[in-house]
Structure 1
Amino acid sequence: MATMRAALYDSYGGPDVLYEGTLPIPEVGDDDVLVRVAATTVNGGELLMRSGRLKLITGSKFPLPLGIDFVGTATKIGSKVSNVAVGDPVWGMVEERRGLGANAEYAIATSNHLASAPTNLTPVEAAGLLVGGTTALTGLRDKTNLQSGERLLVRGAAGGVGTMAVQLGKHLGAHVTALAKEEQIEALRDLGADDVLDYRTTKPDQVGKYDVIFDTKGTQLPAFRRQLRPGGRMVAIAFDITRLVSSLGYIGLSSIHGSGRVRFFRGKPTRPLFEQLTRLAETSALRPVVDSTYRLDQISSAHAALEAGGMFGKAVIDLS
C-alpha cells in the first residue's frame, strides 16, 4: 500500500507531541478528488484539538491527523467527478467527518469542497488566505450582511481570519476599525483599516459604536455586544474555552433577550464559496498575509509559534 508523509500525534499535549509520520494515501471514491498538497496551514482550532480540550469530539483513536485546508494539484479523480481534471491547480478543505487531515503530502475532498486555485498566487500565498477568506466571507456577507457605509469592528484583526475580515470589510465599503497590537498598526492600515486600536490599552467601552462586530477571540462577549448600534449584528468564530458552558449559553440567550444577537458559526465552505474567493484573490480584492512558513517536519514549531501569539496572518506549511 502506497504511503504518504503526514503530521500526526499519538497523545494529547503540547506542540512536542506532534511528529511527521506516515499514513496510507487515501482511497478515491466516486465523488472524490485526490490532491497532491503543495501548501497547507495551521489553524487555531487545531491547537485546541491537539491539546485535548476537544477530546470529546476528536476521540482517542490515535494517531490523529491534522489540518483542514490545502492548495495543490489534482492527481486522481473519481468516476463521477466532471468539474475537475487531473493536473488542475485546486484549493479547498477536507471534511472533518472523514477523519483525514490536510497537513500531509496528499489530501482528499469531494469535488464540492474545492475549486480552481487563484492563478496569480503561489501555493504558499494562496494558503495564506484560504481559511481566513472563506470565514470572513461567511461572517461579513452571509451572517451579518455588512453594507457599504456601515461601521465594522474587527477584534483579533492581526490573525489569519482577522486580516481577511479587515480587507473584506473595506472591499464591501465599510469603515473598518481593527483591534490589535500597537506595533501592527501600519500593517493593518496597509490592508485597509481606517482606524487601529491597541487592545491592550483600549477597554471594550472605549472602542466606540458599530453596526457590525466581527470577533475572533470569543471572550468578553457581553462587553463588546454593548458596543453595537441599534440594529447592530455581532458574529464570533471562537468562544472562551475556559468558560465553555457560560460562553455558549450567553450566545444562545442573546438571540432571545434584547437586541444585537451574537451569532457563533463554524465555516463549512463549499465549491461556490471557494470560487468566489478565487475571484476576489485574482482581482486583488483580498491579499494573502503569511507570517511564516515551515516544512512538514517542523509542524511542532509551527504549532508552538501560533500558540505563543503575536503572528500577523498565517503559519503556512510548505510541501512544494
Structure 2
Amino acid sequence: MDDRTMRAVLFDRFGGPEVLYVGRVPRPEPAPGEALVRVRAFSVNGGELAARSGRLRLFTGQRFPQRVGLDFTGEVAALGAGATGVAVGDRVWGVVGRTAFGSAAEYVTVRAGRLGRVPDGLDLVAAAALPVATTAVTALRDKARLRPGERLLVRGAAGGVGNAAVQLGRAYGAEVTALARAANLNFVRTLGAHHAIDHRSVPPGELGLFDVVLDTAGTDLRAFRRLLAPGGRMVTIAFDLARPAASLGYIAASAVHGRGRVRFFSGDPGRALLDELAARVAEGVLRPAVDRCFPLEETAAAHRALEAGGVRGKYVVRVD
C-alpha cells in the first residue's frame, strides 16, 4: 500500500451514520511546530454527530469530503521543524481543535503544544475516553471555581464529560448529584456520585438548590438556572441545536438578567490542561470509562450507538 496515503473516516454528504465510510486520503506531513501522530484510538463526541448531520454547516462549510474525529491517542511519528515538548515515540493524547475534525484516521498532525503525554501504564485505547475530560476540569475548576463542601449538580452524568465531572467533583470535595437515565444510576454511583437521580422521573423543579450546575445537554437552561442557590454558578458546554439563536441569546442575556450567569464555553485543551488531566489519573481520582470499543471500519456503528442514547462513559474507536 502506498505509504503516502492513509485510511480515514469520511463523508460526502450530510446525513445519518450511514454516510460514513473508510477511504484513503493523503498522509499529512508535519509543518513547522507540528507533530505527526500515529493514531491508536479516538472517541465519538456529540459535536461530530451534529457536524455529520449538517447542523453545524455554518462552521464546517459544505465542501466534501469531510472528516470526523476530534480527540485521539497515539505515538509521535515525526516532528516538524521547531516542534518542542514531545519526542518521536512518545505516547500522547490531544484534541485536534475546537472546530476541527480529522482524528478518525491512521495519522493526524497537530501543534506540538496541544499534545500531552499519556500516563505510564494507561492503555492507549482506554485512554482515548479521557481527553474530553479536560472540559470537565475547565468547567469545574476554572469556570465554576467549585469549592469543597459545595453542592454540585451534573446533568448528563453518564456521558463523556459528565462521568468525568462526577469523578472530579467528588475529588474536589463537592456533594455530587448526578442526573442520568434510570439504567445508568448504578454506573454514576460507582463513579462517586452521592445522589443519583433519574432525569426522566424527577422534574428540575423538584431537585432542590445547588451551588454549581454543570449542564452537558444545552436544553431547558432556564429551568436548571432556577436551581442555583444564592451565589450559585451554572456552566454549560452545549446549546440547543434545535433553537441555536434563541439558546445562545439566552446564555448571553443571563449575564445581565435574573439570578446567576450561565457560563458557556467549548473545550480547547493545550499541554498544560492535558498534563493536569494526567496528574488526576496518576492520583487515582479519575479513570477512563469505556462503554464499548469499535474497529475503525465500524465508526458508523459507534455514531449510531451514541445517537441512540444511554452511553456509559465513551464509545471508543480503535485504529489498527
Q: Which TM class, normalised by the smaller chain length?
A: over 0.9
TM-superposed CA distance for 1:124, in Å, is: 1.4
Q: Any conservation in 2 of the 1:124–1:318 contact (CA below 8 Å)?
A: yes
Deviates more, 1:172-181 or 1:78-87: 78-87
Name the residue aligned to 2:138: 138
SS of residue matched to 1:95: coil
Name the residue aligned to 1:108: 109
1:95-244 equivalences in 2 (<5 Å): 95=97, 101-131=102-132, 133-244=133-244
Match of 1:28 among 22, 27, 30: 30
AA at the equivalent of 1:104: A
Name the residue aligned to 1:264: 264
Q: Any conservation in 2 of the 1:100–1:107 contact (CA below 8 Å)?
A: no
SS of residue matched to 2:129: helix
Say yes or no: does 1:57 pair with 2:62.
no
- Deviations along 1:15-36, one digit per CA (max 9) or x if unpaired, are 0000001111112111000000
Name the residue aligned to 2:292: 292
Alpha-carbon distance in 1 for matches of 2:255, 2:84: 42
SS of residue matched to 1:201: coil
Compute the RMSD of aligned alpha carbons: 1.1
Q: Any conservation in 1 of the 2:33–2:84 contact (CA below 8 Å)?
A: no
Q: Any conservation in 2 of the 1:120–1:282 contact (CA below 8 Å)?
A: no
Alpha-carbon distance in 2 for matches of 1:214, 1:272: 22
- Aligned residue pairs total 318
TM-superposed CA distance for 1:95, in Å, is: 2.7
The TM-score, its normalising length taken from structure 2, stands at 0.97
TM-superposed CA distance for 1:259, in Å, is: 2.4
TM-superposed CA distance for 1:246, in Å, is: 1.2
In the alignment, structure 1 segments of 5+ residues that lack a partner are none
Name the residue aligned to 2:314: 314
Q: Any conservation in 1 of the 2:98–2:268 contact (CA below 8 Å)?
A: no
Q: Any conservation in 2 of the 1:36–1:75 contact (CA below 8 Å)?
A: yes
Alpha-carbon distance in 2 for matches of 1:59, 1:224: 33
Percentage of pairs with the same residue: 52
Alpha-carbon distance in 2 for matches of 1:189, 1:50: 33
- Deviations along 1:132-180, one digit per CA (max 9) or x if unpaired, are x101001000101000000000000010110000000001000000000
Alpha-carbon distance in 2 for matches of 1:184, 1:84: 38
Q: Any conservation in 1 of the 2:118–2:278 contact (CA below 8 Å)?
A: yes
Name the residue aligned to 2:7: 5
AA at the equivalent of 1:178: A
SS of residue matched to 1:28: coil
Alpha-carbon distance in 2 for matches of 1:242, 1:95: 24
Name the residue aligned to 2:251: 251
The TM-score, its normalising length taken from structure 1, stands at 0.97
Alpha-carbon distance in 1 for matches of 2:125, 2:282: 15
Q: Any conservation in 2 of the 1:290–1:314 contact (CA below 8 Å)?
A: yes
TM-superposed CA distance for 1:258, in Å, is: 2.3
Deviates more, 1:256-265 or 1:38-47: 256-265
AA at the equivalent of 1:120: G
Q: Any conservation in 1 of the 2:84–2:113 contact (CA below 8 Å)?
A: no
TM-superposed CA distance for 1:277, in Å, is: 0.4
